[in-house]
């Protein structure tokens, strides 16, 4: 069993499709299929069920996936330990962030880090708050950044900044924002992120703060801040967005903001309490603390 076979197995398991996994890995379909076949034949176990054009993990495959990810995480830690011996001339730093943090707050800080340590490869994964917390806990990334509350006992959670929230609408809904009474706010559709995202949690808190009946409002759920912003600009209803996301549209006049201040929310850094912290990770954290908020 090789690390490359484990990487192929994990990719196929996550894609549930050999051809798509081959594309992700930049391998041929035949090489990808051969790696899976070699694992199954060598250990006389069936890892996948073939269902039409797709595949699905068997019970044995699901159990093996957990171990395979653990082995790759430990191999990555060993490799990073060796890279640390070379200082920060080489190495890798893997980050994960929820959408608002990853798309608007973090990129400038990554660029600053790259200018300071050009030999360190930085990879960023984007997901919602729950997903980022999970892969940080599982050791798939060095550091996670989220805008939602995280209470996982395995993770060290540190506040790094705060975010301003605004209720926005298209100019077509200006009368609702100008009136800003509960009947109008409850009757107008709302657009929100999916459950599990930090922005959705902030949305729930914000509408409750202005007294909107959460049981009666109509919600269109969309999977990204950008999709919400575009839908609201098109007149889909009201939304709660970060000022980082909505600011350019407010300045351009395609969105208008409600004349009310909402409670700010925090951005947090996540790190596994017991996993090895690489020199690159320590340097990135130090640079963020040095830059400060804003």
pLDDT at 87: 67
DSSP state of 48: E
* pLDDT of 209 higher than 80: no
Contact 92, 78 (CB under 8 A): no
Q: At what angle do helices 59-84 and 279-291 cross, to 10 degrees?
A: 80
Cα distance from N-terminal residue to C-terminal residue, the chain? 48
DSSP label of 147:
S
Q: What is the pLDDT of residues 70-94, one digit of tens each?
A: 888 878 777 767 666 566 777 889 9
Q: Using alpha carbons, select from 67, 134, 72, 100 the residue that is nearest to residue 203.
A: 100
- pLDDT over 90, % of the chain: 37
Average pLDDT score over residue span 197-205: 82
Give the pLDDT score at 90: 74
Confidence check: pLDDT of 45 > 80: yes
- Return the pLDDT at 189: 85
Measured between alpha carbons, how far is 192 from 190 in angstroms, rounded to an integer? 7
- Residue 232: per-residue pLDDT: 94
Is residue 193 a contact partner of residue 225, using CB atoms and an 8 Å limit? yes
Give me the residue label for tokens 């703060």. Answer: 209
pTM comes to 0.68
pLDDT single digits (tens) 215-244: 566 778 898 999 999 999 999 988 999 999
Of 284, 248, 5, 28, which is closest to residue 143 (Cα–Cα)?
A: 284
Q: Is the model more confident about 133 or about 75? A: 133
Specify the pLDDT at position 214. Answer: 55
Measuring CA to CA, how many Å separate 143 from each of 28, 186, 250? 32, 39, 32
Q: Where are the alpha helices (DSSP H) in 123-256?
A: 129-137, 174-179, 182-187, 198-209, 225-233, 243-252
**Phi and psi angles of residue 252, each rounded to the nearest 5 degrees, phi first:** -80, -10
Q: Please state which of the ranges 123-132, 181-190, 265-274 shows the lowest mean pLDDT.
A: 181-190
**Residue 93: predicted pLDDT:** 92
Asked if 293 and 164 touch (Cβ cutoff 8 Å), the reply is no
Tokens matching residue 231 = 């839908």
Residue 266: phi, psi to the nearest 5? Answer: -100, 150
**What residues does 17 pair with on adjacent strands?**
none
pLDDT attached to residue 78: 75
Report the pLDDT value the prediction gives residue 107, as an integer from 0 to 100.
Answer: 94
């Amino acid at each position: 069993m090789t690390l490359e076979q484990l990487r192929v197995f994990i990719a196929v398991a996550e894609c549930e499709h050999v051809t798509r996994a081959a594309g992700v890995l930049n391998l041929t379909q035949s090489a990808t299929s051969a790696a899976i076949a070699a694992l199954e034949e060598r250990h006389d176990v069936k890892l996948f069920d073939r269902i039409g054009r797709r595949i699905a993990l068997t019970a044995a495959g699901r159990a093996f996936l957990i171990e395979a990810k653990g082995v790759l995480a430990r191999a990555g830690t060993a490799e990073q330990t060796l890279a640390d011996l070379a200082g920060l001339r080489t190495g890798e730093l893997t980050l994960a962030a929820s959408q608002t943090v990853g798309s608007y707050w973090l990129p400038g800080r990554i660029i600053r880090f790259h200018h300071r340590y050009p030999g360190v490869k930085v990879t960023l994964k984007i997901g919602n708050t729950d997903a980022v917390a999970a892969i940080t806990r599982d050791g798939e990334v060095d550091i996670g950044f989220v805008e939602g509350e995280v209470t996982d006992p395995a993770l060290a959670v540190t506040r790094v900044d705060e975010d301003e929230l605004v209720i926005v609408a298209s100019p077509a809904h200006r009368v609702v924002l100008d009136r800003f009474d509960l009947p109008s706010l409850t009757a107008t559709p709302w657009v929100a992120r999916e459950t599990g995202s930090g922005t959705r949690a902030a949305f729930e808190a914000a509408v409750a703060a202005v007294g909107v009946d959460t049981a009666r409002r109509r919600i269109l759920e969309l999977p990204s801040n950008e999709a919400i912003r575009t839908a609201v600009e098109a007149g889909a209803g009201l939304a709660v967005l970060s000022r980082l996301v909505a600011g350019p549209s407010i300045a351009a006049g395609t969105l208008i903001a409600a004349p009310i201040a909402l409670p700010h929310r925090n951005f947090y850094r996540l790190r596994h309490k017991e996993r090895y912290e690489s020199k690159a990770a320590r340097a990135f954290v130090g640079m963020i603390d040095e830059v400060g908020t804003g």
